[in-house]
């Protein structure tokens, strides 16, 4: 069995990989100016006030561009998990509560996969996440009284992730590690958009979900 020389975790196969173990980065919020430590935060937002975080004193890291691709992926996955978990807790419709609980589990599985693949330790998800944060990220108006609005927010931020990873992949040099990573991440998020869209249509027509 191959072992990562950096974090000593087992490697799957002989493919190239990125090890993010030990990369706890420091961030400062543009709004409240508080400093936070961690590899990634939901949507890159300040955990204290929802402001935009900026990295501090990052310095040189091997495979820097590829590492940035991984970190962005974790930002989005953390945000999706927090959003679905909160939506499940807030839903008054039992069917929606179960559905968004399954979406949260789906995001958790994806984070576990990314964590295993890239050897990154993630923070414990916050229980006080506000759904408004996802609406801000997705660019969709928040209407708490409308259950369908939760679907629209979810689809919009998954599509935004697809667009982001696709655009970054096109900018990265063909054949580079970051180009391959962004292509893989865009494909993952595209699958989420398709699944969410299908679930939304079935919910609108009163049919049971496919999850």
pLDDT at 24: 62
Most confident of 106-110, 140-144, 162-166: 162-166
- Distances, alpha carbon 168 to alpha carbons 162, 164, 178, 183, 184, in Å: 10, 6, 9, 9, 12
* List of domains in the chain: 64-204 (1.20.1260.10)
This prediction's pTM = 0.61
Question: 61: pLDDT confidence band, cut at 50, 70 and 90?
Answer: very low
Q: Which residues fall within 8 angstroms of residue 199, CB to CB, at 6 or more apart?
A: 99, 151, 209, 210, 211
| 130-134: long-range pairs with CB below 8 Å, 24+ | 130/50, 130/86, 131/83, 131/86, 131/87, 131/90, 132/50, 133/42, 133/43, 133/45, 133/50, 133/79, 133/82, 133/83, 134/43, 134/79, 134/82, 134/83
Say which range, 64-68, 142-146, 163-167, has the weakest mean pLDDT.
Answer: 142-146
Question: 139: pLDDT confidence band, cut at 50, 70 and 90?
Answer: low
Q: What are phi and psi of 42, to 5 degrees?
A: -50, 120
Average pLDDT of every residue of the chain: 76
The residue with greater pLDDT, 30 or 198, is 198
State what percent of residues in the chain have pLDDT above 70. Answer: 70
| Residue entry with tokens 């990989």 | 17
3-state SS track over 3-60:
ECCCCCCECCCCCCCCCCCCCCEEEEECCCCCEEEECCCHHHECCCCCCEEEEECCCC
């Amino acid at each position: 069995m191959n072992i990562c020389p950096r974090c000593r975790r087992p490697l799957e196969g002989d493919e190239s990989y990125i090890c993010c173990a030990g990369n706890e980065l420091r961030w400062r919020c543009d709004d409240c100016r508080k400093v936070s430590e961690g590899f990634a935060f939901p949507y890159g937002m300040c955990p204290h006030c929802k402001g935009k975080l900026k990295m501090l004193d990052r310095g040189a890291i091997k495979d820097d561009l590829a590492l940035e691709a991984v970190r962005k992926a974790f930002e989005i996955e953390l945000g999706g998990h927090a959003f679905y978990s909160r939506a499940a807790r807030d839903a008054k419709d039992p069917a929606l509560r179960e559905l968004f609980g399954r979406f949260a589990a789906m995001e958790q599985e994806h984070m576990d996969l990314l964590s295993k693949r890239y050897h990154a330790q993630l923070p414990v998800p916050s229980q006080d996440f506000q759904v408004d944060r996802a609406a801000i990220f997705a660019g969709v108006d928040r209407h708490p009284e409308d259950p369908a609005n939760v679907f629209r927010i979810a689809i919009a931020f998954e599509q935004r992730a697809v667009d982001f990873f696709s655009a970054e992949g096109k900018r990265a040099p063909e054949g580079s590690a970051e180009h391959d990573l962004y292509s893989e991440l865009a494909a993952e998020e595209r699958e989420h958009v398709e699944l969410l869209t299908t679930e939304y249509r079935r919910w609108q027509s009163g049919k049971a979900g496919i999850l």
